[in-house]
Structure 1
Amino acid sequence: MGSKLRAALDRIDFAIAYLATIGIVGVTILGIVMRYVVGAPLTWLEEVQMMLIVWLVMFGGSAAFRLNQHVAIDAVVDTLPHVLQRLAQWVVAVVVLVSLGFLVYAGSKFVSFQFGAARVTDVLGIPYGWIYLALPAGGGMMMISYFLTTVLPMFSGATEPLDGERHV
């Protein structure tokens, strides 16, 4: 089950992150051409870039958690005895999961507020709720990814995550 779930997560967050990256590059190049070659700047360009960046950050973050590519500062922990290193790993895991849980909760409330307030972008009229839906969705993906790659191996007594990189 874990490998199937991991493969599904890979397909989801990589697809969203790749599409967002391609979209950002594409609309930015189009914006440059329209402004400096054609002389007709795109009024909607900034809105689309902002939306794509939000989705890229949240789903790219999920992929980074699963691939153990996020920032980790472990110089102090490495100097501790093994028992304290394990304790630090558990403390960090709890802090990360609680933080991501709060992101999902607060992000959901924020999205609900945006839809309730009927706020839309100035030019394209896209509801902000759709843009910020990336917060709880990406946060939930990050939680699942972190649990699979960091917390689950800790239950088996492994001192390192599955790919051998440290998170503490």
Structure 2
Amino acid sequence: MKLSEESHVGEVAPATSLMMSSKNAIYQLAKWVAILSIVIMFLSLMTGVIVRYVLSTNLGWVTEIPNLFFPWLTMSAIVAAAARNEHIGIDLIVDQLPVLMRKPVLFLTNALAVIAFGLIAYRGLDVVNIAGSQRLPITQVGMSWAYWSVVAGFAAMAVVSLANIGMLLTGREEHAASQVPHGEEEL
């Protein structure tokens, strides 16, 4: 028995909506992690400057804060760009392909990305375990905190690529294109 066009669209819409919602949730989380990282680094460094010039002393922990939060800022920016399909890509090549070849190329690219990002996240767990015993000298925070950004970031990028595959399979590949006009994103 063949599904009617209306029932097929009814089944596809919730799946596509779920994938789009997942990508949007990942984007929002990554954006707020980046904002929080910037604010924390700015406040700690500003505190260090004020204390140095007002009290003529040094706060040692201030120099450790960027070591902990800069990796989170970097990975969250990468994830946010991937979730909005604003990452560096070679669309020129895909755009030059015949229409029938674009979908398989996008599918293959995203499938390879899921595998690669998943493996990087998985292997990053080994780095987290190794770095867990290393501590920053003043705050005594484990260096694994910074390396968790790699695991979380690449796992999120694998999920984004998986959502892109799902949208391609449901026939919603137009959502794989950039979702935000350049320079016009709202906060």
Return the TM-score normalized by structure 1.
0.80
Q: One-letter code of the match for 1:43? A: G
For 2:45 and 2:30, the matched residues in 1 are separated by 22
1:125 maps to which residue? 140
Count of aligned pairs between the two proteins = 162
Q: One-letter code of the match for 2:165? A: V
2:105 maps to which residue? 88
Pairing of 1:49-128 with structure 2 (within 5 A): 49-115=66-132, 118-128=133-143
Q: One-letter code of the match for 2:105? A: A
Runs of 4 or more consecutive aligned structure 1 residues displaced over 4 Å after TM superposition: 3-8
For 2:171 and 2:26, the matched residues in 1 are separated by 25
Aligned-pair identity in percent equals 21
When residues 96 and 4 of structure 1 are mapped into structure 2, their CA distance, relative to the original with a 3 A threshold, is closer
Q: Which runs of 5+ in 2 are unaligned?
A: 1-13, 180-187
1:138 maps to which residue? 153
Q: One-letter code of the match for 1:144? A: V
Q: Is the 8 A contact 1:59 1:141 kept in 2?
A: no
CA offsets 1:30-50 (integer angstroms, 9 cap, x no match): 233333454323322232112
Greater Rg by CA: 2
Give the one of 45, 49, 54 matched to 2:62. Answer: 45
Q: Is the 8 A contact 1:153 1:161 kept in 2?
A: yes
2:168 maps to which residue? 154
Q: Which runs of 5+ in 1 are unaligned?
A: none
Return the TM-score normalized by structure 2.
0.73
